[in-house]
Amino acid sequence: MPKYASYIICTSPRSGSTLLCKLLAATGVSGNPGSYFHRPDLSDWMADCNLMPDPSLSEAEMLEAIFRAVQAKGSLDTGMFGLRLQRHSFEFFMEKLRVLHPGHDSDLQRLEAAFGRTLFIHLSRLDKVEQAVSCVKAEQTGLWHVAPDGTELERVAPVKEPVYDAAEIRATYDRFTDFDLGWKDWFEAQGIEPLRITYTTLSEDPVGCLRMILEALGVDADAANGVVPGVAKLADATNRDWVMRFRAELEAQ
């Protein structure tokens, strides 16, 4: 019997969450996690759920329809709901959750009113320089994810050569540092002790991390057997060069 009805991967970009979501979805027992509330816009949420705007509905009624559709997408036929929640999506998401469940006193109570008993997974990348470099390079090149065979999985812009930009890396470094502090403060305020996974551990032992999560959820951990990571690292010589240059600049300050 599962210990939880749902789980939320609390994270920030370039922390390995796409790899983790694909691993969890591949088991067939732990839902279909994704960033279903990624953009802070209700019309985008509705479009993602293939819902048509209805001016006769109140905001709470629209949110009920959205959350029903998201739970179906994030559960499939597994009985377990999975959600990836990026920190930059957090404030708008919680604002709308307060509209949907106004009778509760805390974020945790509202989340569990929406999704049932929830396991919180904090997926973080401890090396913020590498994380920032990875993000800036992805934004410049347009390429965010590739398969193990090198096939592009997610490209959001035409091919473009990356150019070192210390100011942009610093801004991204600061933003990601703030994101992790934001998650830390929120967990403490809500009395949540999340299951903690780092980018390094996940990348070095993806199936081991997957088994740990399945065990924590109370579902069959053997469902991890045979699951093959569907995402490869994008870091290359450019990443290594930028990391070295930026670390030197940080140390010189």
**pLDDT tens-digit profile of 206-242?**
999 999 999 999 999 999 999 999 898 899 999 999 9
pLDDT exceeds 90 at position 128? yes
Least confident of 2-16, 146-160, 185-199: 146-160
Judge whether 168 lies within some domain: yes
**pLDDT tens-digit profile of 92-108?**
999 999 999 999 999 99
Judge whether 1 lies within some domain: no
Q: Which domain CATH number covers 39?
A: 3.40.50.300
pLDDT exceeds 80 at position 253? no
Counting the structural domains of the chain, the total is 1
Containing domain of residue 23, as a range? 6-252
Band the pLDDT of 54: cuts 50, 70, 90: confident
Contact assessment for residue 25 and residue 31, using Cβ atoms and an 8 Å cutoff: yes
